[in-house]
A and B are shown apart, each in its own frame.
Chain A
């Protein structure tokens, strides 16, 4: 069996603070295969972005990886030096962030930002890199590229800017793309276009994608598998059809039950009473137990874990919570 493109095992991200160590990501294990799209969902603050930044090696100090291993096509990348990691970022892992309005440097022409990225990761000459930039811009669906390449970011709309961000992520044909809520900041009318574009480009290239989103509809339409995160931990991981149709974790069930149309922002959810705990007050045992209708003594004592698929829930794992 070949190695998965991304293999994260037991990842823990901590923030030492004056009032103790906060664990933002706790024991996350997941894999993404070639050409596979893994959706990652969870309420805001669940640790989705932290996981992505940890994989990119871009945690802001004092945040740090406290435990676990991250492998990219079989090689450890969490132990690389900064200069080695610079050759991974942009080259082997592309990134797309939430807000296209702020992802591009306002003082540089979009073409210069593309050429810069291409030349960082390839041996192309300036003119060859410019030709490649034009080709990429065309590929992501920007009209009149010859005129547009020398424009500044503010001369593009949000949707167009996110297309350029996608082109930047694809510059070096990376094995993996981490897309952190790539459409959340966009107009609803163009969200679907951007998601479809991302999906098509990655499918064509066999790129693995970690797609972080709030939108269960996007997951259902785009992802192959889905990981549900809660309070820094994995609640459930499985094939999209299974998780959507037969959720096994009470939290996921709550999410799905409250999404009749599968097209709702998860922040608006009012179905599950209570709120996700703050990092400094995560309850013992299952982090979801204060909000769970099935919680039993065991849930308040021991932390349920999930191995590769399934739900991190005593009820699902053992059929009882006593």
Chain B
């Protein structure tokens, strides 16, 4: 287990170094940082002095090492656009994205799991076929189309829910939450729904596939033979055996959702990291772009590593060792 942990951590570190290299190359060679930072009146001497101070005359390796060292400490420099510390900017936007992704994840589980069970239990029924068809639409509709349709339906036509912004927020320490105010919650509904559409269908299809497998198992038949009511067999005995892969999928997908949130945040003008990134792209604000890239990659790698480690932890072979230690005999 320890060897595995070390190997997996080394793996993760290597991936992050590669991402850092990419981010660094973008940072260093897309436009001249000095030109971005100085104003027009700066003299040649000013520029040379700044170049020296920023260490831009050092060797590539030295600069890359410095970039990685700083990044590891959360230092991505100063935004070209508004001269603020990049990490502070991202920190301000992170709660909005996090709450959006969290609520989208909860929606995808609360809706996707029951749909998966229903389509598996009533396979071949008209309802199940309709849901299956719907799920194909769900995976194939681009997320921005879903967002625009939701805005058209619920804000423009019905006027029930706001179409943009985050509503009122409350600060808890450095964390600003929209979950505690009515307008904050209302503003969250459409973006979260839009972001979760794809995820709902993913969860539904996974649960359906797992359930079909589980429903064929002996312990499901045996539970029925014991007189356990059908509904309980399906929703308790069978479903519980399907949840492990769902948890894995959900964990892995959080990274994807954060990345996808970029589109949703743009459509709904949601003031999260994604929107910050899009604005940074418009202004060629390289440090913000590099920091966003690093942060999202870091979340991806972290989640993947955690899931892998959890998997090794619950590996049936490890369980079987425990069974032997339990000393069972015929």
Q: Which residues of A contact B (CB under 8 A)?
A: 56, 58, 82-83, 86-91, 95, 97-99, 102-108, 113, 116-117, 120-121, 151, 154-160, 165, 168-169, 171-172, 186-187, 189-190, 193
Closest to B327 in A: A155
- In chain B, positions 222-243 with a C-beta closer than 8 Å to chain A are 222-230, 237, 240-241
Contact A155 B328 (CB under 8 A): yes
In the complex, how many angstroms separate the beta carbon of B240 from the nearest chain A beta carbon?
Answer: 5
- Decide yes or no whether B329 CB sits under 8 A from chain A: yes
What residues of A have a CB within 8 angstroms of the CB of B320 in the complex?
154
Given known A158-B330, A187-B330, A190-B330, contact A89–B225 (CB-CB < 8 A)? yes
Tell me which of B224, B229, B237, B241 contacts A58 (CB under 8 A).
B224
> Given A88, A151, A154, A157, which contacts B330 in the complex, CB threshold below 8 Å?
A157
Which A residue sits closest to B218, measured CB to CB? Answer: A102
Q: At the interface, yes or no: B158 with Cβ under 8 Å from chain A?
A: no
List, sorted by A's number, 14 A–B pairs whose CB atoms are closer than 8 Å. Answer: A58-B224, A89-B224, A89-B227, A91-B227, A97-B218, A97-B222, A97-B225, A105-B219, A105-B237, A105-B240, A105-B241, A157-B330, A172-B227, A193-B330
> Residues of B contacting A56 with CB < 8 Å?
225
Residue from B218, B219, B227, B330 within 8 A of A160 (CB atoms): B330
- A82 and B224: CB pair below 8 A? no
Cβ of A103 and Cβ of B323 under 8 Å apart? no
- Contact of B221 with A by CB under 8 A: yes
List the B residue with the shortest CB-CB distance to A102: B218
A177 nearest CB across to chain B (Å): 11
The answer on a CB contact under 8 Å between B328 and A157 is yes
Residues of B within 8 A of A158 (CB): 330
Residues of A near B7 (CB, < 8 A) are none
Q: Are A95 and B225 in contact (CB under 8 A)?
A: yes
Is the C-beta of B181 less than 8 angstroms from some C-beta in chain A?
no
Q: Which residues of A contact B173 (CB under 8 A)?
A: none
Q: Are B228 and A97 in contact (CB under 8 A)?
A: no
**In angstroms, how far is the closest chain A Cβ from the Cβ of B207?**
16
Contact in complex: A155, B322 (CB < 8 Å): yes
When the two chains form their complex, are residues A102 and B217 in contact, meaning their CB atoms are under 8 A apart? yes
